[in-house]
């Protein structure tokens, strides 16, 4: 029987692992320099934790099982409920604001497609305990800081920013009652993903009249804040407009304004969002959102905690890697292994010295390797080139020949001098 990986999962061969680590290292580097601390949680939780946050229908979208004690558990499809549980358990002892990040492995039981897999990694950044728009602005800045870090420019990606309170105000002004708000938001969330004809059918399916659709679209199609202030139906939502104005002032002051623009079609489908929301899209919109997030001030209450303001975002590795590949932003050196040194025995009976040199180089922090087989120098040089070695150290009884494989420069050194300063040629 021939075994294969499960559909929607990935085998990370070394060349793929280098890309994964490069992305994860950049996530951590950016998080730490922006003042966030790393956390993690179990890969499975009680199923009720996820249904409490997203409703019973979420059970069909995750991998769940019953353990030997009859407990209903689920592999985490996201880490935000775990974050809420952890914070709620120690909310009175944690200094605020709580600025945490995580890079968890997640699983979702859904149909695999381009940019969406059953197993993936996701960067999560959250600020808990701070009600001001400044926390939202900092999260957006962290997003932009990462985009810059990996070489993506404002011409490559844009952070599109909307407002859940303003969307709710527009829906209410269109004559949709409280019981229909969630279904209307779910339909509006799909608008950027479908054409106008499909959107109208979705609206009709949700019970929206053509007049209501026109009213909501007028709001969603606003392209600047000045125009937004002129919409009469939003008079009762002035605070939501003020929040957007303040947000854009903050991100501009922090140097991230060129990546950001208003887009009121962004409402985020999940019901727990309560304020500013945003999504990151690549230029041309050929891919799903690279990242998304917003304010969720009631989530801790859902998991049995107090009412604590919170905001944050998630960025998956699958769409991000596709975008980086399409834009040519993945470093070429990730495609091949890179060694600092490949150590070669240049004559018979010298292998013990090869091991001594290799061990010394490794202890000094260099990436060093050698051949398991005793071969001629020519074959070992081919191996060094195949492994992407920057230099070779050809060991002989009377010293070491150190050669830079890119420039061809070569020098002779005593063994003691080489080990004292391996960097010098």
Chain segment 395-416, per-residue pLDDT in tens: 999 999 999 999 999 999 999 9
Burial 33-64 (b: 16+ CB within 10 A, else e): ebebeebeeeebbebebbbbbbeeebeeebeb
Task: Give backbone dihedrals phi and psi of 181, rounded to 5 degrees, phi first.
Answer: -65, -45
Chain segment 130-185, per-residue pLDDT in tens: 999 999 999 999 999 999 999 999 999 999 999 999 988 888 888 888 778 888 88
| Separation between Cα atoms, residue 203 and residue 174, nearest integer Å | 13
First to last CA, the chain: 54
**Neighbouring residues of 218: CB distance < 8 A, sequence distance ≥ 6:** 231
Pairing of strands 339-345, 310-316: unpaired
* pLDDT surpassing 70 at residue 6: yes
Chain segment 82-91, per-residue pLDDT in tens: 999 999 999 9
Confidence of residue 303 (pLDDT cuts 50, 70, 90): confident
**Residue spans of alpha helices (H) in 221-350:** 225-228, 238-253, 299-302, 317-326
User: Would you say 188 and 200 are in contact if contact means Cβ atoms under 8 Å apart?
Assistant: no
pLDDT at 336: 82
Structure tokens at 360: 């010394």
- H or E, element range at 219: helix 210-220
Length of the chain (residues): 425
**Neighbouring residues of 313: CB distance < 8 A, sequence distance ≥ 6:** 124, 125, 126, 139, 140, 143, 278, 291, 292, 293, 294
Report pTM: 0.91
**Neighbouring residues of 52: CB distance < 8 A, sequence distance ≥ 6:** 81, 302, 303
User: Would you say 185 and 171 are in contact if contact means Cβ atoms under 8 Å apart?
Assistant: yes
User: Would you say 354 and 343 are in contact if contact means Cβ atoms under 8 Å apart?
Assistant: yes
Burial 157-168 (b: 16+ CB within 10 A, else e): bbbbbbbbbbbb
**Neighbouring residues of 168: CB distance < 8 A, sequence distance ≥ 6:** 181, 185
* pLDDT surpassing 80 at residue 235: no
- H or E, element range at 291: strand 291-295
Average pLDDT over residues 369-384: 95
Quickly count: other Cβ atoms within 10 Å of residue 224's Cβ: 9
* pLDDT surpassing 70 at residue 311: yes
- Percentage of residues in the chain having pLDDT higher than 70: 98
Average pLDDT over residues 176-204: 83
* pLDDT surpassing 70 at residue 425: no
| Separation between Cα atoms, residue 45 and residue 66, nearest integer Å | 11
Matching residue, tokens 């070569």: 410
Matching residue, tokens 């996530």: 27
Structure tokens at 56: 């019973």
* pLDDT surpassing 90 at residue 201: no
pLDDT at 134: 98
Quickly count: other Cβ atoms within 10 Å of residue 329's Cβ: 14
Chain segment 239-287, per-residue pLDDT in tens: 889 999 999 999 999 999 999 999 998 988 667 789 999 999 998 767 7
Q: Could you give all domains of the chain from N- to C-terminal order, each with its CATH number?
A: 14-332 (3.30.930.10), 337-420 (3.40.50.800)
Chain segment 46-73, per-residue pLDDT in tens: 999 988 877 676 778 899 999 999 999 9
User: Which residue in 48, 12, 39, 34 sits closest to 101, CA to CA?
Assistant: 39
User: Which residue in 159, 154, 328 sits closest to 247, CA to CA?
Assistant: 159
């Amino acid at each position: 029987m021939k075994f294969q990986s499960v559909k929607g999962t990935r085998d990370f061969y070394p060349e793929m692992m280098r890309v994964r680590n490069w992305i994860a290292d950049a996530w951590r580097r950016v998080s730490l320099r922006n003042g966030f601390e790393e956390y993690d949680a179990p890969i499975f939780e009680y199923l009720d934790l996820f249904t409490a946050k997203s409703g019973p229908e979420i059970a069909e979208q995750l991998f769940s099982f019953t353990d030997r004690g009859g407990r209903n558990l689920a592999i985490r499809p996201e880490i935000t409920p775990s974050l809420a549980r952890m914070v709620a358990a120690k909310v009175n002892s944690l200094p605020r604001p709580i600025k945490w990040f995580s890079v968890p492995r997640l699983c979702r039981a859904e149909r695999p497609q381009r940019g969406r897999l059953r197993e993936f990694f996701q960067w999560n950044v959250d600020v808990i305990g701070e009600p001001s728009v400044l926390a939202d602005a900092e999260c957006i800045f962290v997003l932009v800081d990462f985009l810059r870090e990996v070489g993506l420019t404002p011409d490559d990606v844009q952070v599109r920013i909307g407002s859940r309170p303003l969307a709710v105000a527009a829906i209410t002004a269109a004559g949709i009652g409280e019981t229909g708000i969630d279904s209307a938001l779910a339909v509006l969330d799909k608008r950027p993903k479908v054409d106008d004809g499909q959107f109208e059918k979705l609206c009709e399916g949700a019970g929206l009249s053509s007049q209501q659709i026109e009213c909501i679209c007028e709001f969603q199609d606003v392209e600047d804040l000045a125009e937004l202030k002129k919409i009469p139906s939003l008079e009762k939502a002035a605070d939501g407009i003020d929040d957007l104005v303040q947000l854009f002032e903050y991100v501009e002051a922090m140097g991230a304004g060129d990546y950001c623009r208003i887009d009121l079609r962004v409402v985020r489908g999940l019901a727990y969002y309560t304020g500013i929301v945003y999504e990151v899209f690549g230029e041309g919109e050929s891919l799903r959102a690279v990242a998304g997030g917003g304010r969720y001030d009631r989530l801790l209450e859902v998991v049995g905690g107090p009412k604590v303001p919170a905001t944050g975002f998630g960025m998956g590795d699958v769409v991000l890697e596709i975008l980086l590949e399409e834009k040519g932003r993945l470093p070429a050196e990730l495609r091949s292994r890179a060694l600092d040194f490949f150590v070669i025995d240049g004559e018979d009976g010298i292998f013990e010295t090869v091991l001594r040199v290799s061990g010394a180089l490794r202890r000094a922090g260099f990436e060093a390797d050698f051949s398991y087989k005793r071969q001629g120098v020519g074959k070992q040089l081919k191996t060094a080139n195949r492994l992407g070695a920057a230099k070779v150290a050809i060991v002989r009884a009377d010293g070491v020949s150190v050669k830079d494989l890119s420039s061809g420069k070569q020098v002779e050194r005593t063994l003691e001098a080489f080990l004292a300063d391996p960097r010098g040629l």
